[in-house]
Amino acid sequence: MEENSEAPVISLRNVWAGYDLDTVLEDVSFDLFPRDYVGLIGPNGGGKTTLIKVILGLVVPRHGSVSVMGYSANEGRRYIGYVPQLQISDKAFPINVWDVVSMGRINPGFSSLRLSAEDRQRIEEALRQTSMLELSKRSINEISGGQRQRVYIARALAAQPRILLLDEATSSLDVDRERVVNQAVRQLALTRVIVAHRPETIASAGRVIALASGKLQAGADWPHVVAASEDGNVYGLRVEE
């Protein structure tokens, strides 16, 4: 991979992190750059979710440093749109697609619930980016699982993030629905990180980061990845020499 001359939007240096007495991440370092499309892969318990929490400032490293858009993780997370794996909703609650996406424009603390003309423009743009504009008046409970995931991505995009983190956000979808969601994400002009357990989820990623037992295992341009398995010391990648 050619060296990127742009400043990284996410930078980790020698990060060690964990919970109480348990160490989860060990000496993790990498940079992510503007418009990178990155797959973060590894087995269950390998440290993927902890790494995302470190980037979001929800877990403070014991050692090392983290920066997001040149700020600390705690300050820089305002530039991040985050879509978790599981979205819990009340199926009896009457809310439509537009209203769900509009939540991305509400300021922290709910100081104002009134949408401005700019807010409405950003909501429409996010719906168009995810091909959900035509369904904007439909109930969130009347659309498919793949469409709901696109709505949640649109909600994150409405906040105009510089970085989009998808934490196994498509793992509950079937292959066809996952493909539609990934296609929508691939077309976005911002830094995207997709966390996945299955290698096929990140087949179109430009870069791959693999974590196993809390350690960074390998990283490469996807075209150079020739296999993926959990049966060796390196999970997720076997890279051509």
In which domain, by residue range, is 168 found?
A: 10-239
Would 71 be classed as within a structural domain? yes
- Per the document, the length of the chain is 241
What is the reported pLDDT for 218?
A: 59
Tell me, yes or no, whether 3 lies in a domain.
Answer: no
pLDDT greater than 60 at residue 220: no
With H, G, I as helix, E, B as strand and everything else as coil, classify residue 170.
coil
Number of domains in the chain: 1
- pLDDT band (50, 70, 90) for residue 241: very low
What pLDDT shows up at residue 3? 54
- Which of 51, 60, 9, 7 is closest to 28 using CA atoms? 51
Looking at residues 150-171, what average pLDDT do you find? 88
Mean pLDDT of 227-233: 39
Instruction: Examine the pLDDT at 10 and tell me if it is beyond 50.
Output: yes
Residue 215 lies in a domain: yes
4 found inside a domain: no
CA separation, residue 170 to residues 5, 153, 179, 191 (Å): 32, 11, 9, 18
Does residue 122 lie within any of the structural domains? Answer: yes
Give the pLDDT score at 230: 40
pLDDT of 66: 97
What pLDDT shows up at residue 62? 95
The rounded distance, in Å, linking the Cα atoms of 106 and 89 is 18
Report yes or no: 212 and 51 within 8 Å, Cβ to Cβ: no
Predicted confidence (pLDDT) at residue 182 exceeds the cutoff of 80: no
The Cα 112–Cα 210 span in angstroms is 41
| Mean pLDDT comparison of 113-127, 186-200, 224-238, highest-scoring range | 113-127
Would you say the C-alpha torsion 183, 202, 46, 26 has a positive or negative sign? Answer: negative
pLDDT for the residue numbered 61: 96
Between 236 and 19, where is the model more confident?
19
Half-sphere exposure of 120 (CA within 13 A, CB side): 4
**What average pLDDT does this structure show over 98-112?**
79
**Is 116 part of any domain?**
yes
Helix (H) or strand (E) holding 51: helix 48-55
106 lies in some domain = yes
End-to-end CA distance of the chain: 14
CA 81 from chain center: how many Å? Answer: 7
In-domain check, residue 2 = no
Task: Find the CATH number of the domain harbouring 97.
Answer: 3.40.50.300
Question: How much is the pTM?
Answer: 0.79
Token digits for 161? Answer: 């993030």
Q: Mean of the per-residue pLDDT values for the chain?
A: 81
- Report the pLDDT value the prediction gives residue 167, as an integer from 0 to 100: 86
